[in-house]
């Protein structure tokens, strides 16, 4: 992004700012875009779905992993049991009702990036996300 903005400024004969100024500007733009994206995503599910999603992050007594970790691990062997486990996993995903949410205003590339990051992020880091991502309060844009 930095190279494209520098090339555009040169092409349009704009006096170039310092490298650190341009980097800071790009960083601020990305931060604002991420905040808007997460606020839009947080506004999609209702409170009931948010509560169900939060429950995925809790680790039950006597268990070492959360339901989220269990659901994101897919079967690795090819067998009838693995197929049955995959089907039950699919049914559990479907029970969350996420497919009924309207994601049409969210860029597909950004959704893919979020999904990829969710696949490798720890439950601990996800559960530490600010409350603005879990609540419908959109007035707190700077919370992050």
**Does residue 56 contact residue 71 with C-beta atoms inside 8 Å?**
yes
The more confident residue out of 65 and 81 is 81
**Greatest Cα-to-Cα distance within the chain, rounded to the nearest angstrom:** 66
Structure-token pair, residue 106: 């969210």
Residue 144 has pLDDT above 70, yes or no: no
Distance between CA atoms of residues 57 and 128, nearest Å: 10
pTM of this structure: 0.61
Say yes or no to pLDDT of 136 above 60.
Answer: no
pLDDT digits (tens, 9 = 90+) for 37-64: 888 888 888 888 888 888 888 888 888 8
In this model, does residue 16 exceed pLDDT 70? no
């Amino acid at each position: 992004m930095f190279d494209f903005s520098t090339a555009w400024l040169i092409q349009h004969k704009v006096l170039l700012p310092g490298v650190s100024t341009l980097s800071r500007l790009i960083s601020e733009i990305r931060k604002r875009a991420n905040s808007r994206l997460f606020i839009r995503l947080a506004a999609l599910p209702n409170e009931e779905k948010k509560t169900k999603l939060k429950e995925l992050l809790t680790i039950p007594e006597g268990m070492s992993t959360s339901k989220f970790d269990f659901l994101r691990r897919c079967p690795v062997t090819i067998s009838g049991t693995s197929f049955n486990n995959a089907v039950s996993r699919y049914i559990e995903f479907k029970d969350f009702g996420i497919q009924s949410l309207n994601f049409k205003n969210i860029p597909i590339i950004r959704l893919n990036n979020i999904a990829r990051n969710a696949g490798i992020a720890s439950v601990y880091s996800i559960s530490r996300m600010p409350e603005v991502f879990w609540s419908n309060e959109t007035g707190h844009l700077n919370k992050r």
